[in-house]
Amino acid sequence: MLALDGAWGGSLPAVFGHEAAGIVEEVGPGVGRVRPGDHVVVTLVRHCGTCHACAQGEPPLCESHFPLDEQSPLTSSGGEPIRQGIRTGAFAEHVVVDASQAVPIPRAVPLDQASLLACGVITGLGAVLNVAAVRPGSRVVTIGTGGVGLNCVQGAALCGAATNIAVDLSDEKLAAARTFGADQTVNPMREDARESVLSMTGGRGADYVFVAAGSARAMEQGATLLRRGGTLVIVGMTAEGVKVQFEAVDIADNALRIIGSKMGSVRPQVDVPMLAEWYLAGRLKLDELISRRYPLGEINTALDDVRAGAALRNVITF
């Protein structure tokens, strides 16, 4: 939604949509990883596999440039360029992407569920499993329980968190968080978040706090919920130009760690197939993330529901 609302700049006209799954129709010269007929998840992670970042296991930070970065594959009927939103442009019947963005998955995974693996699921789970590497028995807090935050909660449950706390202003989303593994919930509209978290963690605070909301206030609040030596993981994206403030002495004196998480440090060709298998084995919840399915002609209604906070994930189907 931030990209759609212009929070990161960019030009118009554009085709947005960055979480997609579908069936490969054609491949270009030299493409061997996918074949026509394959069922694939299409991610925004366009990566070369050989640059310094890719060699360090960080494909979302790939340093390479691609022909599609320089020239969008989309044009109007008159030949004018149309921006490909977040490297995908998936609010459309067809997409043209780099081969690195298409990850084959088992045909048994429904495509509507599979589309969730393209961003929200891997971003939330990856923050917990890959970036923070949460230890079993930890006390974990997630602030913001939309599609990404619910997967932070789900990741903490999969890691064996002893206490799994969800914080949100919406009681409906907090109820959803319990479905995904939260054993405690906090609504700051009714209770003091810091006091509540302290009471749930033996007075110490959380080992890990994941901020899945794109809010400076939430990020600043997250630092106050940590124990000494705890880790704050910034997962949510704000608009450009937003600043946050932390008490500098507390960072050193309390040995706090503040780290960012870009797309959960996902390795698409490894992690997406693994998560697809987890779904088929009943280990990973995807069905419960989908609030409603809409045809493309009702996309504005679907987006309005998201803006109103009424949806976890709405899916456009073709």
**Which CATH number goes with the domain that contains 291?**
3.90.180.10
Output the pLDDT for position 5.
65
pLDDT for 92 equals 92
Does the structure show a pLDDT above 70 at 110? yes
For residues 126 and 252, membership in a common domain is answered with yes
- Pairing type for strands 139-143 and 20-23 reads unpaired
Tell me what pLDDT residue 305 has: 87
107 with 130, same domain? no
Structure confidence at residue 306 (pLDDT): 83
- Residues 204 and 79: their CA atoms lie apart, in Å, by 61
102, 158: one domain: no
One-letter identity of residue 247:
E
Residues 114, 180 within the same domain: no
Question: Are residues 298 and 248 part of one domain?
Answer: no
| pLDDT score for 105 | 98
Give the per-residue pLDDT at 10: 75
pLDDT at 141 over 80: yes
pLDDT of 2: 59
- Same structural domain for residues 139 and 222? yes
Confirm whether 169 is domain-assigned. Answer: yes
Q: What mean pLDDT comes out for the span 3-13?
A: 71
pTM value > 0.95: no
Question: Range with the lowest mean pLDDT among 11-20, 102-111, 177-186, 246-255?
Answer: 11-20
148 belongs to a structural domain: yes
Averaged over 124-143, what is the pLDDT?
A: 98
Structural domain includes residue 5: no
pLDDT > 60? residue 313: yes
CB atoms within 10 A of CB 11: 9
Are residues 26 and 86 located together in one domain of the fold? yes
Q: Do 126 and 207 fall within a single domain? A: yes
Above pLDDT 90, what percent of the chain? 86
Taking each helix axis from N to C terminus, what angle separates 171-179 and 147-158, rounded to the nearest 10 degrees?
A: 30
Q: Are residues 229 and 189 in the same domain?
A: yes
Residue 225 confidence (pLDDT): 98
Specify the number of domains making up the chain: 2
Q: Is residue 4 in a domain?
A: no
- Residues 105, 76, single domain; the answer is yes
In a domain, 8, yes or no: no
Q: Quickly state the pLDDT bin for 61 (edges 50, 70, 90).
A: very high
- Reported as a pLDDT band with limits 50, 70 and 90, residue 12 is confident
What confidence tier does 179 reach under pLDDT thresholds 50, 70, 90?
very high
Instruction: Answer whether residue 124 shows pLDDT above 70.
Output: yes
CATH number at residue 179: 3.40.50.720
Tell me what pLDDT residue 129 has: 97
- Same domain? For 286 and 260 the reply is no
In a domain, 151, yes or no: yes
Read off the pLDDT band of 224 (50, 70, 90): very high
What is the domain range of residue 67?
Answer: 14-119+266-317
Is the domain of 274 the same as that of 199?
Answer: no
User: 1 lies in a domain?
Assistant: no
Position 307 pLDDT exceeds 90 = no
- In-domain check, residue 7: no
3-state SS, the chain, equals CCCCCCCCCCCCCEECCCCEEEECCCCCCCCCCCCCCCEEEECCCCCCCCCHHHHCCCHHHCCCCCHHHHCCCEECCCCCEEEEHHHCCCCCCCCCCCHHHEEECCCCCCHHHHHHHHCHHHHHHHHHHHHHCCCCCCEEEEECCCHHHHHHHHHHHHCCCCEEEEECCCHHHHHHHHHCCCCEEECCCCCCHHHHHHHHCCCCCEEEEEECCCCHHHHHHHHHCEEEEEEEEECCCCCCCCCCCCCHHHHHHCCCEEEECCHHHCCHHHHHHHHHHHHHCCCCCCHHHEEEEEEHHHHHHHHHHHHCCCCCEEEEEC
